[in-house]
């Protein structure tokens, strides 16, 4: 699917562009926002490179990676990012990731964003399974995924190397048929 633009009750998702570098750097360059992510805060240049990569991969066929900017319904400056990556060997399944600028946390936006990504994946991309992995300490991500209907599935031991140590991940997932009951985005 090309030129994605979808809206929920209060959020809009659209393709990232090079104009979003500063907005995304406010997420991925922020020590608070990256505390539970498996990488150190990124420089502006690193964020710019990742956006260029995302834009390139949006042209590939079949498309496997969607990196979408999160805005309000008026389409103002992006305050978050959502990623959906379709597995090459299991194209019915995709991993998601998300991040919001910290001044937008704690108001249910993360939960709404997950609902919107699930709607995009199941309704528009016809996926069967969508999953996300979080740090065991990431309570906000845990609650947002549970409230949005993603079931806690299990623990991957020593899944990632983060800040010089092995870190487990907790996997959450949603299946297409379960999602039917949560389609109110
Ligand atoms: C994870 C993230 C998207 C959640 O966004 P958010 O808008 O703050 O989430 P919500 O407001 O929808 O909160 C979801 C639940 O978590 C709770 N919560 C939010 N922040 C919390 C915190 N720091 N500690 C404990 N609970 C928290 C909320 O109260 C809410 O619970 P409720 O529905 O019972 O009220 C956001 O914290 C973020 O961008 N974090 C940095 C990147 C990241 O960790 N991404 C996820 C990787 S898996």
Averaged pLDDT of the chain:
95
| Segment holding 50, helix H or strand E | helix 44-57
**Structural contact between residues 67 and 56, judged by C-beta atoms closer than 8 angstroms:** no
Question: Each residue of 19-44: pLDDT tens digit?
Answer: 999 999 999 999 999 999 999 999 99
Q: Where are the domains of the chain?
A: 5-182
Report which of 21, 66, 68 is spatially closest to residue 42, judged by C-alpha positions.
21
* 183, pLDDT greater than 70: no
Band (pLDDT 50/70/90 cuts) for residue 1 is confident
Question: Each residue of 84-106: pLDDT tens digit?
Answer: 999 999 999 999 999 999 999 99
Phi then psi for 56, rounded to 5 degrees?
-65, -45
Distance CA 142, CA 15 (A): 26
For position 177, what pLDDT does the model report? 92
The structure's pTM equals 0.94
* 185, pLDDT greater than 70: no
Whose C-alpha lies nearest to ligand 1, atom 3? Answer: 110
Residue 134 Cβ contacting ligand 1 at under 6 Å: yes
Whose C-alpha lies nearest to ligand 1, atom 20? Answer: 140
Mean pLDDT, rounded, for 61-90: 96
Phi then psi for 125, rounded to 5 degrees?
-95, -5
For position 68, what pLDDT does the model report? 98
Most distant CA pair in the chain: distance in Å? 42
Which of 102, 105, 112 gets mutated to test ligand 1 (max ligand atoms within 8 A of its CB)?
105
The CATH number of the structural domain formed by 5-182 is 3.40.630.30
Band (pLDDT 50/70/90 cuts) for residue 132 is very high
């Amino acid at each position: 699917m090309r030129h994605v633009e979808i809206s929920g009750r209060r959020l809009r998702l659209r393709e990232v562009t090079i104009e979003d570098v500063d907005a995304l750097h406010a997420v991925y360059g922020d020590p608070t926002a990256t505390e539970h992510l498996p990488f150190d805060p990124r420089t502006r240049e690193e964020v710019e490179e990742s956006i260029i990569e995302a834009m390139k991969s949006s042209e590939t066929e079949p498309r496997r990676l969607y990196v979408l900017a999160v805005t309000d319904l008026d389409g103002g400056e992006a305050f978050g990012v959502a990623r959906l990556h379709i597995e090459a060997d299991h194209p019915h399944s995709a991993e998601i990731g998300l991040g919001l600028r910290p001044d937008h946390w704690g108001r249910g936006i993360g939960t709404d964003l997950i609902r919107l990504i699930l709607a995009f994946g199941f309704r528009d991309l016809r996926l069967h399974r969508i999953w996300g992995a979080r740090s065991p300490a990431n309570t906000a991500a845990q609650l947002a995924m549970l409230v949005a209907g993603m079931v806690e599935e299990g623990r991957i031991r020593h899944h990632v190397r983060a800040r010089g140590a092995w870190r487990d991940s907790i996997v959450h997932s949603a299946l297409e048929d379960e999602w039917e009951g949560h389609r109110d985005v």
